[in-house]
Amino acid sequence: MDSIGTALVADDDPERLEELAALVTELGFTALKYTDANAAREFLHTRPDLDAILCKMDMEGLSWSSAERTLREMDVQIPVILFSDEAEASRMMRALRVGASDFFVRPVEDVEALRRSLNRCVRQRQVRRELEESRRSLQAANTELTGTIEMLEQDQQAGRQVQLRMLPVSPLVLGDYVFSHTVIPSLYLSGDFTDYFTVGDHFVTFFMADVSGHGSSSAFATVLLKNLFARKRSDFLRRNDDTILSPVALLKRANKEIMDLEVGKFATMVVGVLDMACNSLRYSVAGHLPQPVLVSGDGARYLRGEGSAVGIIDNASYEEHMIDLPDSFMLALFSDGILEILPPKNLIEKEKYFLNVFEQTANSPEEMVTRLGLDQVDTAPDDIAALFISKRG
């Protein structure tokens, strides 16, 4: 018959030790016998898997305060059943004070009571072992998770450097026009992106994109958009394809490519084409807030436009607007992360406040960044991107 458990049996009287060990064996347990208290205590260092300790209460050479400290330091928490030749209340109370799980008077007349006590010890130890195993597993999992997080952070930092290198030169000066940008990610990687580049002799195509969500998957979508615009610029130069000069055509291509990506992402966008020869602007808005702000001597105003965000529905339609620009102006595009840090509580009040900031401070993009507090923001609740296009007459 398999052993139910293992018990250390200790008594300084060899005859009584053999009797108790025989009883323990009869109850289905493996008995490990000791007459020396110190040797038994040292044995615990090699066998913390014991299920119970059965010990004479007043065993020679045994200090229960020392034994209890040893068990506590080893953190083995082995249940102890104490035995005494005298049925005194004071002895029972002392046994409880030193942490005994049970107390028996010898000779043991109620063998079934001892069996139940030993079985409780086995269950208690089993629970303890399971908890310890769970603790070790949790600790191992935590160590592995910590390592994974560190690797993820390193990957995110590397991805952040790649994404920064994808951004255009800032500032970019083209005659009287100056292009500059600011991007503040809520994580290492940003779902907000902006780009601008020359097309032909006198055009500049630019866009602001705010991809849904945060982190790596959103950043990958910005890579797709960057690549799309770069391809269309190349097609203009090599194939005489003028898609890069059509904000509506670009939004339709962006809509199809993000739909084909099938990652559950969408993006609000503003796409514009600046004609530096005519000082005019063609632009389209795809569900983007806040809308572009144009600041001139006549004040600040939103450039209105409607259209669905790209990546939501097939065959989405977009409006294209064309305006003549003032001789001196600043055009500002922001992702909606800017709305998160503005003081007003509701969207209408935020838009009014936002426009008022431009009315009061429109001398330069640097002043706008300072006024909006972007130069003081290290991390934001949402990604923030800003694009400024300025012309001084």
Alpha helices in the chain (DSSP H): 14-26, 37-43, 64-74, 89-97, 111-166, 215-239, 247-261, 337-340, 347-360, 365-371
Q: Residue 148: its pLDDT value, please?
A: 78
Would you list the domain boundaries of the chain? 6-136, 167-391
Dig out the tokens for 38 from the structure.
């110190």
Q: Which of 267, 243, 263, 123 is nearest to 190 (CA)?
A: 267
Which CATH architecture describes the domain 167-391? 4-Layer Sandwich (3.60)
Fold of 6-136: Rossmann fold (3.40.50)
Helix (H) or strand (E) holding 53: strand 52-56
Query: What's the average model confidence in pLDDT over 184-188?
Result: 68
pLDDT digits (tens, 9 = 90+) for 228-252: 999 999 999 898 899 999 999 999 9
Q: Is the pLDDT of residue 352 over 60?
A: yes
Q: Is the pLDDT of residue 361 over 70?
A: no
Q: Residue 280: its pLDDT value, please?
A: 97
Rounded CA-CA distance 193/199 in Å is 19
pLDDT digits (tens, 9 = 90+) for 53-100: 898 887 776 666 665 555 555 455 788 898 988 888 887 887 777 778
Comparing 156-160, 240-244, 327-331, 363-367, the range with the smallest average pLDDT is 156-160
Question: What is the identity of the amino acid at 219?
Answer: A
pLDDT digits (tens, 9 = 90+) for 279-290: 999 999 999 989
What Å distances lie between residue 64 and 77, 95, 106, 221, 249, CA to CA?
14, 9, 20, 69, 87
How does DSSP assign 284-306, residue by residue? EEES-SSPPEEEETTEEEE----
Q: Is the pLDDT of residue 309 over 80?
A: yes
pLDDT digits (tens, 9 = 90+) for 6-46: 999 989 889 999 999 999 999 999 999 988 877 877 787 77
Question: Residue 208 class from Cβ within 10 Å (0-12 exposed, 13-18 middle, 19+ buried)?
Answer: buried
Q: Is the pLDDT of residue 152 over 50?
A: yes
